[in-house]
Amino acid sequence: MKKITLTILTNSILFLALFFSIEISAQSSDCDIEITAYRNTTIKDVSSKGSYYKMTMVNKGSSEGVYVLTSKDVNNTCSNVDSTSTENNVFLNYRFLDKDKNPIDKISLSIGESIDFLIYVTAPTGTSMNKWSCVQIIASSENCENYSKSIILKSFIIDPSEG
């Protein structure tokens, strides 16, 4: 009787382990996106009028998904293009816009769908000129827990009097 109980218990544990590994594997392939900047332009000058990054998000996963867009300052962990110290990097404003320039905070994608969107970057009043800013743009899944993809953008605040 003990041997039968032990066999049933062992088989149950193996079944559960297999079930959860299949579930985890299926979930990770459900959500798979790619975020790219148009022509790989991840570095831009920002004038007093601001600047736009043209972005594309592609759903390469096996299910449709909704992705929340956020930005995170990464001035302390990035490197400036001209190798200057990041100590004097500045903070900028980032707004997410659809291709018609309407504000968005989420993107919904069907399987295989590709959507273009914009990131509008502006410098707050009083921001120092000729300084860099680094930001991480993050798309976090509402469908798959702990799934996100990101891209780093680097912006240089130009001094209009030097143009």
Q: What angle do CA 142, 118, 39 make, to 5 degrees?
A: 110
State the distance between the two ends of the chain, measured CA to CA, in whole angstroms.
Answer: 88
User: Is the pLDDT confidence value at 72 over 70?
Assistant: yes
Q: What whole-number distance in Å separates Cα of residue 28 and Cα of residue 85? A: 38
14 Cβ contact list (under 8 Å, min separation 6):
none
Closest listed residue to residue 71, CA positions, set 95, 99, 101 = 95
pLDDT of residue 29: 72
pLDDT of residue 17: 41
Mean pLDDT of 98-115: 97
Mean pLDDT of 127-155: 96
- Compare 159 and 156 and report the one with higher pLDDT: 156
- Look up the CATH number of domain 31-162: 2.60.40.10
pLDDT of residue 3: 54
Tokens of 84: 């200057």
Q: What whole-number distance in Å separates Cα of residue 157 and Cα of residue 122? A: 9
Helix boundaries (H) for the chain: 2-30
Torsion of CA 99, 75, 43, 33, to 10 degrees: -50
Tokens of 71: 């930005």
The one-letter amino acid code at 43 reads I
User: Is the pLDDT confidence value at 24 over 50?
Assistant: no
